[in-house]
Structure 1
Amino acid sequence: MDKPTALDALSALSQESRLDVFRLLVKAGDDGLPAGDIAMHLGVRQNTMSTQLAILTRAGLIQRRREGRTIRYAADFQGMRGLIRYLMSDCCGGVPEIVRPLAEDFSNA
């Protein structure tokens, strides 16, 4: 991931309802949720949710797929991992053992 892509992702997550959407979709896993269910679960109007979902999609943090008349959204785990790798790439002075416990925490969550 390059800096502009990381900035887009961080900017997308810097708004409360978009962060809530992203966290909800991470919890939902690969199956994701229909757009209407996301709006209902978070108590957000559907037209507002459409805008939030579009921003997260453009930032590479979620994916959408059409299922008949329904659009289903899911977290883009590859995009999320890319952002985490970017944020952690310069840490620890080249000593990856320092972050190993953090990586283990991710795998146990």
Structure 2
Amino acid sequence: MKGLADLAQPLRLQVFHALDVVGESGLTPGAIHDALGRPPATLSFHLKEMVNAGLDTQEHAGRNLICRANFDCMNGLLG
């Protein structure tokens, strides 16, 4: 249930929605910042909390960090 509680926070829900829309290609934190217009430090905090809750995953691709929605986790929460 932690995942659902984390999605109750409006910014995290916006981030998850943005990641859901782009699917497996994911987004960099910079692209999420550009889309949502939130301060980088705030966004970083919420992304970390989402990873801890299992709502998203992060992967390094060269010098970039790619964030992706964890659809298995979301399906488990909704199922």
Normalising by the smaller structure, the TM-score range is over 0.9
Which of 47, 57, 62 aligns to 2:41? It is 47
SS at match of 1:33: coil
How far the C-alpha of 1:70 sits from its partner, in A, is 1.1
Matched, 1:56 2:57: no
Tell me the amino acid that sits aligned with residue 73 of structure 2: G
Tell me the amino acid that sits aligned with residue 27 of structure 2: L
Question: 2: CA distance between counterparts of 1:66 and 1:12?
Answer: 24
How far the C-alpha of 1:11 sits from its partner, in A, is 1.6
- Relative contact order: is structure 1 or structure 2 higher (C-alpha 8 Å, sep ≥ 6)? 2
What are the within-5 Å matches in structure 2 for residues 1-109 of structure 1?
6=1, 8-85=2-79
How far the C-alpha of 1:69 sits from its partner, in A, is 1.5
Which segments of structure 1 move beyond 6 Å, counting only runs of 4 or more?
Answer: none
Structure 1 residue runs of 5 or longer lacking an equivalent are 1-5, 86-109
How far the C-alpha of 1:17 sits from its partner, in A, is 0.7
Tell me the amino acid that sits aligned with residue 7 of structure 2: L
Question: 2: CA distance between counterparts of 1:45 and 1:56?
Answer: 17
Structure 2 residue runs of 5 or longer lacking an equivalent are none
TM-score, length basis structure 2: 0.95
Question: 1: CA distance between counterparts of 2:56 and 2:33?
Answer: 15
Tell me the amino acid that sits aligned with residue 72 of structure 2: Q
Percent of pairs with identical residues: 35
How far the C-alpha of 1:64 sits from its partner, in A, is 0.4
TM-score, length basis structure 1: 0.70
Q: How many residues align?
A: 79
